[in-house]
Structure 1
Amino acid sequence: MVQFRSLLFTPANRPDRFVRALESGADAVCLDLEDAVAPADKASARAGALEFLAQRPAGGVQVGLRLNGRSTPWFADDLRAAAPAEADFFMIPKASSAHEFGMLQRALGDARPFWPLVETPEGLMRCWDIAEAPGVGGILFGAFDYSAEVGCDMSWEPLLFARSQIAAACARAGVQALDAPPGLVGEPEVLSAETDRARRLGFTGRACIHPDQVGPVNAVYTPSAEDVAKAQAVVEAFEAAAGGPALVDGKLIELPVARAARRILERARGRD
């Protein structure tokens, strides 16, 4: 599966925004049937999203659907519609256990990846198992709902424990970890700084709620030419030392450093 630097949420009841979303530069677009759509508009939004998915050109940006939660009255209709839908992946709100993804995989009858949203204390408690569940391609941190459930502030420090748990769980399972979308639009420097903090914590990308957020997020998760050159030098030196310690620019290079360098090169190759 392609690694997402950025994923742009687009309200499924706003078909006028669909093409713009595909042209935003985001690695993935998610048509949102959940939070962005009022109850009265759920059925029409679902129909419009399915029509767009059926007509979009093949290849290019991956497009998925965020379904309504399992406890809502719209979930059953969403699930029936999802099976034949031309979607590349499915976002599942308020994931609470690994067992539900086996059920979802059987209901949909294929191997398209699921993206659980971990946005409750229960989901966070079980995120290690959720990350390893059948069909899961990655986890998205739902910071807004999580902070409301816990009663904590939306700033970095109160959410650091949750972010650290999710990043570690996804790394252990070998799946992607997307950070929550930023709440503010029009502050690219703040956005870049916040995104880089999550990247350094172990997140592999970030969700966005506006096309203007995509560029700064992509920039943070795209290795620079200098980063690639340094990583290549580290890998070459480590391999030349036959797996033993090596020195690059006076710095000791051992296996953990070489692994980090290889991850940079993998991200860079994914953008070629």
Structure 2
Amino acid sequence: MTYYRSQLFVPGNREDRFEKACQAGADLVCIDLEDAVGPSEKDAARESVLNWLSRTEHRNVSLRINGLDTEVGEKDIAALSKSGLTLPFVMIPKVASKEQLDSLSKRLPEKLGPFFAIIESALGLINAEEIFSHPRVSVGMYGAIDYAGEVDCDLAWETHLFARCKLVAAAAAYDVQLFDTPHIHVRDLADCEATTLQAKALGIHARSAIHPAQIERIHSALMPTDDEISYAQRVVAAYEEANGNVVLLDGKFIEEPVVKRARRVLTYIS
């Protein structure tokens, strides 16, 4: 499985920024046809994005379609189904149920790629386990901003702790990689890094970005420290030397769950 750290959104009506976004250092780039594009420009943006994707050599770029229950979303799906593209993912906003994805999967060929499901509503959060169990969902994201708008709460970190923890558990249960919500204050890079560290502590090891300057801070937060890397190396070495048996290291029991986490830490330097 490929582990991603970051994803950068770029507006679908700004083709002049597509290539720049690809050079910003993010692991994934998502061209956005939904929130970033106004109603009057959605048709033109869709045509422009699909044409550009058909020409690009970048293999880490895909797009976010509009909502499944909207007329413009229907147009996105119809155009995508005929595009012949192969993509790393198709991002689906405001996913509320597994049944929505069942219906969408029948319309979008497997060749298009897996689904990137955004959980950003109360119903989506309630149904997160079923949504993440869908066979085409390989990546998910918590959309805290839309969620806050629906349930009428603030965006303080503590307010969204339950939602993040629930999504971490659902994602882990179904081997879905979870991204945290973008940091909306693009000039507050210190807080972007700090809140990424908080998400990492919960088990969210990737984050979306809305500005290129955020990418370095996200990667910095997710990169293990030298001490974490050294300890992980010692854990794996001790476990392998013990032939997979429980072993003591620094007075602590080392068994499979601890080794699994250590190996994940080492994926960042492999």
TM bucket by the smaller chain?
Answer: over 0.9
Contact 2:114 2:137 in 1 (8 A): yes
Q: CA deviation at 1:49?
A: 0.6
Partner of 1:213: 214
Identical amino acids, percent of aligned pairs? 40
Superposed counterparts of 1:118-157, under 5 Å: 118-157=119-158
Partner of 1:15: 15
Partner of 1:80: 78
Distance in 1 (alpha carbons) for counterparts of 2:50 and 2:69 = 22
Q: CA deviation at 1:223?
A: 2.9
Residue 179 in structure 1 maps to residue 190 in structure 2: no
Contact 1:34 1:68 in 2 (8 A): yes
Which one is further off, 96-105 or 164-173?
A: 96-105
Q: CA RMSD in A?
A: 1.5
- Structure 2's unaligned 5+ residue stretches are none
Q: CA deviation at 1:96?
A: 0.8
Q: CA deviation at 1:176?
A: 0.2
Superposed counterparts of 1:231-246, under 5 Å: 231-246=232-247
Contact 1:99 1:133 in 2 (8 A): no
Distance in 2 (alpha carbons) for counterparts of 1:58 and 1:36 = 21
The equivalent position to 2:68 in structure 1, one of 67, 70, 85, is: 70
TM-score of the aligned structures, taking structure 2 as reference length: 0.94
Residue 95 in structure 1 maps to residue 90 in structure 2: no
Residue 43 in structure 1 maps to residue 55 in structure 2: no
Count of residue correspondences:
267
Partner of 2:198: 197
Q: CA deviation at 1:227?
A: 2.6
Distance in 1 (alpha carbons) for counterparts of 2:74 and 2:150 = 25
Distance in 1 (alpha carbons) for counterparts of 2:68 and 2:246 = 51
Moved over 4 A (4+): none
Q: CA deviation at 1:58?
A: 4.8
Distance in 1 (alpha carbons) for counterparts of 2:257 and 2:3 = 22
Which one is further off, 73-82 or 214-223?
A: 214-223
SS at match of 1:137: strand
Deviation string 1:69-107 (CA, Å, 9 cap, x unpaired) is 012110111001222245321111110111222222221
Partner of 1:53: 53
Residue 108 in structure 1 maps to residue 108 in structure 2: yes
SS at match of 2:68: coil
Distance in 2 (alpha carbons) for counterparts of 1:66 and 1:223 = 30
Deviation string 1:185-224 (CA, Å, 9 cap, x unpaired) is 1222211110011011011200000000011111222334
Partner of 1:31: 31
Contact 1:8 1:207 in 2 (8 A): yes
SS at match of 1:268: coil
Distance in 1 (alpha carbons) for counterparts of 2:234 and 2:220 = 22
- Structure 1's unaligned 5+ residue stretches are none
Contact 1:105 1:134 in 2 (8 A): no
Deviation string 1:123-165 (CA, Å, 9 cap, x unpaired) is 0001011111021011110100001111111011110000000
SS at match of 1:74: helix
Distance in 1 (alpha carbons) for counterparts of 2:146 and 2:256 = 39
Q: CA deviation at 1:248?
A: 2.5
